[in-house]
Structures are given as C-alpha cells and as structure tokens.
Amino acid sequence: MRLFKLDINNKIKENLNIINFLNPDYIYIPYEKDIDLTKVSKNEPINSFKSSISGTIVGLKMGVFNNEYNNAYIIANNFKELETKKNKRIKISIENIKKILLENKETELLNKFNKESIDNIVISAINDEINVYNYMYLLKENANLYLDLIDEIRMFYKCTNNYLVIKNNESFIIDECLNVIGTYPSIVLTLVEDLYLIGKEQFLLDKLNITGNTLFLTIEDIDKLCKYLKIIDNTTKFITISDNVTCKIIRCKKYTLLSDIIEFAYPTLKNYHIIINGLMTGLEIDNPTYFILTDDIKSIHLLKKLPRFNKECLNCGKCINVCPVGVNPINGINLSNCLDCGLCTFFCPASINLREKIKGDSNE
C-alpha cells in the first residue's frame, strides 16, 4: 500500500480566520408534516423548524437536501434571531448514544458502537481532501468539549489505547491540542505525515500499526454526537470555500442556499465551475440555487476551468501505478476494490476523468 504526497500549493490554508454568515435573507427548511404553519405565519419562534432564524414562510421550493430532492419552505428572515434554546444535555452513555443514532437514522455511525468490546479508540482529525479544513476548525473551536466526550466514551469501554490523530504539518491545531490534552492523560496526541488518503480508516490503522477491535471515529463523528447529545448548538456549520487562489472558512446557518453562500464569499467572481465536497472526490454541480446547506456538504470549490478535459490515453500506466488498491482503471481489473479516491484522475497526464469512467464501467 502506497500513499502519496500530493504536489499542490496549499499555502492558502495559513492564517485562515473564521468568517460568519449567520444572517442570510432566506433559509430553506425541508417540508415536514408536523410543522405548524399558522404559528410560523404569525412570526412566532421557529426553533421547531431546526433553525434559530425567525421569519415567515414566503413560498415553497424544490431543493436538494442530503443528496435528495425535497420540498422546502422558504423562510424570509425577519432578523429577530431567536436565542438558541439551551436544551438540556442528554446523559452520556453508550445506550443513549446508540438510541439517538438509531432515532436519527445514523446507521453507519451506530454500527461502530455495536461492538462487544473495544481495544483501541482512534479519533481522526484528518481531512484528506485538498483545501478542506473543516475538521481543524471544528477541533480548534471545540477541543475541550470533544475531548470530554471522547474521555467519557473510553471510560465506558474501559479502553486504554486512545489516540487523537492530526497531520504533522497542521501546527496551529497541534498547539491548540497541546494546550488541553494534558487534562486527558488517557488520550495520546498522535501526529502523522500529510499523505493523501491517510485519513481513511484502513490506511491510518495500518500506518499506526493498530490491530484489534477499534472504534474509529472522525472529528465530524464526534461533532455529530456532541450535537445529538445537545452539548453543542446544531443550528450552524462550517464550510470551506475556495477559488483558484484563496480559501475561506465560513460559519453558516444550516439550511442556507449554496448560491447565497457563494455570493457572500466571492461576490465578484464570474464564470466558474462549482465542485462540492472536494477536488479529488467531489461532485460538479450545475445549479447551486437548488442545493441547501445540510450536514453532507463540507466544501465548495469555484474553478475557472475544470482540471479534466478527456484527451487521448497515452498508455503511460500511471493510473495503474498510483492506485492504492490495485485497480486497473483502463481494463477494469479489480474495479470492485475502487475507493473512489480520485488519485488515478489526479495523476493522469492526459487529464482523463477516470473516476467517471470507473463509475460508468461499474454500472454496466
């Protein structure tokens, strides 16, 4: 297994400050049967709508939420922001964690807690994608709250091998963690080299030489748990947004329209392609006026030109050599192993979009 240092200019991550976009003119709440329309039209509090924004319904719109089309109420913000209700924290226990994950249909995360015994707990604060820094900023803001929760979880499992893993070149977040980690002697801060895909569970455990029953969680998982347990406010979220030269970390209200976030962050930018959720593994979207900011959207990249042009194959074999799991994207050998990591596309000198080709081949 080989992991790669991607040759990209990521200087833009230095000195990033968080920018707030917490007062959009509109938010878009997915239609739910139990919403009381009469209350909302009287400008009554709409916390029950999953947002602290106060306002009135001014229409309906079709929107994309968590990858699915759904009807949405358009709420015009009256800028009388509601104080986020301090909900009572849910008592932390593995039973309660499983219960809330089941209620919120978080099957993948729930499965991680369905192990009889745990030998190691590994918390990854690694964002593999180029120019996506959400994990670092989540950790910077909430290090104590996250570490408290991790510490409680490790006590329930009586687990002695607990690691918080960060890339060794992310100095500002390392400093932040060093300031607080001393309070948690059972959690070891572990640094790893900045290699693409090191954040993936199988690669990271391999690199750290960790075997046995492992509870592997990302910082995003911990953040989610903190929100479900009502330790952290669940009405805002970070998103990384970049163009060809700059990058910004924006704290947004959930359910804001992506086009409004783009307009806020890059008001003068014109004629760009939009990729969401990473340059290596993301998705190009045509119309950001349909996409609503929900938990699945982590980043927006605005590119003047797409990096792929589908030229002729040069038969150089680079795509085969770089694949970490032995797929041959040209003839489809081992296609079922594909991680959709995008390395073959990144390294192809003819700029062929092999990720798309592989998806097409898999569907045949």
| Smallest separation, CB 314 to ligand SF4 (Å) | 4
| Smallest separation, CB 322 to ligand SF4 (Å) | 6
Give 110 or 350: the residue with its C-beta nearer to ligand SF4.
350
Q: Is 313 in the site for ligand SF4 (CB under 6 A)?
A: yes
Q: Is 232 in the site for ligand SF4 (CB under 6 A)?
A: no
Find all residues with CB under 8 Å of 50, minimum gap 6, and list them: 29, 234, 235, 254, 255
| Smallest separation, CB 2 to ligand SF4 (Å) | 11
Residue 194 near residue 168, CB atoms below 8 Å:
yes
Give 89 or 311: the residue with its C-beta nearer to ligand SF4.
311
Report the candidate in 198, 191, 199, 138 with the shortest Cα–Cα distance to residue 165.
Answer: 191
Q: Is 198 in the site for ligand SF4 (CB under 6 A)?
A: no
| Smallest separation, CB 305 to ligand SF4 (Å) | 19
Q: Max alpha carbon distance in the chain (Å)? A: 66
Report the candidate in 31, 20, 40 with the shortest Cα–Cα distance to residue 63.
Answer: 31
Give 244 or 321: the residue with its C-beta nearer to ligand SF4.
321
Stretch that binds ligand SF4, among 92-100, 111-119, 205-213, 311-319 (CB under 6 A): 311-319
DSSP 8-state assignment for residue 213: S
Report the candidate in 288, 262, 284 with the shortest Cα–Cα distance to residue 273.
Answer: 284
Give 16 or 350: the residue with its C-beta nearer to ligand SF4.
350
- Bridge partners (DSSP) of residue 248 are 241
Q: Is 279 in the site for ligand SF4 (CB under 6 A)?
A: no
Per-residue interface string for the shown chain with ligand SF4, residues 2-41, x marking contact by CB under 6 A: ----------------------------------------
> Phi and psi dihedrals of 224, rounded to 5?
-60, -45
DSSP 8-state assignment for residue 196: B
Which tokens hold the place of 242? 């970049």
| Smallest separation, CB 207 to ligand SF4 (Å) | 17
Stretch that binds ligand SF4, among 41-49, 115-123, 165-173, 320-328 (CB under 6 A): 320-328
Cα 240 from Cα 298, distance rounded (Å):
7
Q: Is 317 in the site for ligand SF4 (CB under 6 A)?
A: yes
Report the candidate in 125, 112, 108 with the shortest Cα–Cα distance to residue 213.
Answer: 112
Residue 198 near residue 269, CB atoms below 8 Å:
no
Considering only 18, 60, 283, 314, the residue that binds ligand SF4 (CB under 6 A) is 314
Residue 122 near residue 207, CB atoms below 8 Å:
no
Give 17 or 315: the residue with its C-beta nearer to ligand SF4.
315
- Which residues ranging from 327 to 356 are in contact with ligand SF4 (CB under 6 A)? 327, 329-330, 338-344, 348-350, 352, 354-355
Neighbours of 219 (CB within 10 A): 24
Considering only 173, 226, 239, 358, the residue that binds ligand SF4 (CB under 6 A) is 358
Per rule CB under 6 A, count of chain residues that contact ligand SF4: 27
Cα 229 from Cα 322, distance rounded (Å):
41
| Smallest separation, CB 335 to ligand SF4 (Å) | 8
Instruction: For the chain, list the strands marked E by DSSP.
Output: 18-21, 26-30, 55-65, 68-77, 120-124, 161-167, 187-192, 214-218, 236-242, 247-253, 273-276, 283-285, 299-303
Using CB under 6 A, list all residues that contact ligand SF4: 313-319, 322-323, 325, 327, 329-330, 338-344, 348-350, 352, 354-355, 358
